[in-house]
């Protein structure tokens, strides 16, 4: 059973529709009691890093997510949810993240227009179960103004938008996509199916 973490600042409708489409069992996690029976977690998110972290704490999701990660449960962060996996963000001043992947989140520096919005290609750097069946240069859908700054060993795929954008990251049982797989049609469906099968 997949638990979809609801931090109250994300629209989870597109994600839950895609999970229904691929036949995945899921439940919405909106409090600590909802983690019972969950064996994977998806952490979606839109909005700002500090508000998302504040909400995770306020609604009792922060510590259970960290505990699940420590126990080896697969976790997938999407867009802002991916950024929350890192140690820190500079968005609206320094904010602490979940600390599940080493690195920090910084503003995209060299783009003419922000946010980075629309379809871009993936440059797949490393084999991973989460990317099984995804072709080199697959088009996926991005909406963001900040990017991860992390070491190469945590980066599975990148995209280019002014800066090099870590597009898929991992650290053991922790995965993240800067793009929205639920809005990325064929390739996003494959990635979510791969996550379900972990």
Average pLDDT over residues 2-23: 91
Instruction: Enumerate domains of the chain plus CATH numbers.
Output: 2-196 (3.40.50.880)
CA distance 46 to 107: 15
- pLDDT at res. 63: 96
Q: Any idea which residues carry the catalytic annotation?
A: 79, 180, 182
- pLDDT at res. 145: 96
User: For 30-58, how does the pLDDT look when each residue is reduced to its tens digit (9 = 90+)?
Assistant: 999 999 999 999 999 888 999 999 999 99
CA distance 193 to 198: 9
User: For 56-67, how does the pLDDT look when each residue is reduced to its tens digit (9 = 90+)?
Assistant: 999 999 999 999
Residues whose CB is less than 8 angstroms from the CB of residue 71 and which lie 6 or more positions away in sequence, other chains included: none
- pLDDT at res. 156: 98
Cα 139 → chain centroid: 17
- pLDDT at res. 10: 73
Residues whose CB is less than 8 angstroms from the CB of residue 103 and which lie 6 or more positions away in sequence, other chains included: 86, 87, 148, 149, 150, 151, 154
User: For 123-144, how does the pLDDT look when each residue is reduced to its tens digit (9 = 90+)?
Assistant: 999 989 999 999 999 999 999 9
CA distance 87 to 64: 17
């Amino acid at each position: 059973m997949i638990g979809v973490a609801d931090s109250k600042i994300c629209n989870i409708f597109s994600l839950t529709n895609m999970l229904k489409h691929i036949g995945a069992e899921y439940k919405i996690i909106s409090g600590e009691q909802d983690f019972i029976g969950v064996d994977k977690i998806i952490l979606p998110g839109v909005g700002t890093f500090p508000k998302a972290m504040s909400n995770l704490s306020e609604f009792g999701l922060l510590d259970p997510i960290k505990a699940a990660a420590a126990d080896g449960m697969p976790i997938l962060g999407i867009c802002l949810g991916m950024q929350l996996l890192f140690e820190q963000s500079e968005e609206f001043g320094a904010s602490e993240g979940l600390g599940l992947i080493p690195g920090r989140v910084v503003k995209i520096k060299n783009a003419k227009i922000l946010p980075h919005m629309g379809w871009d290609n993936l440059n797949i750097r490393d084999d991973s179960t989460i990317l099984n069946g995804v072709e080199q240069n697959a088009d996926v859908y991005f909406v963001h103004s900040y990017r991860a700054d992390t070491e190469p060993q945590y980066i599975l795929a990148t995209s280019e938008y002014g800066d090099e954008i870590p597009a898929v990251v991992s650290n053991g049982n922790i995965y993240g996509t800067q793009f929205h797989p639920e809005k990325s049609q064929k390739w996003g469906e494959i990635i979510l199916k791969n996550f379900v099968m972990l």
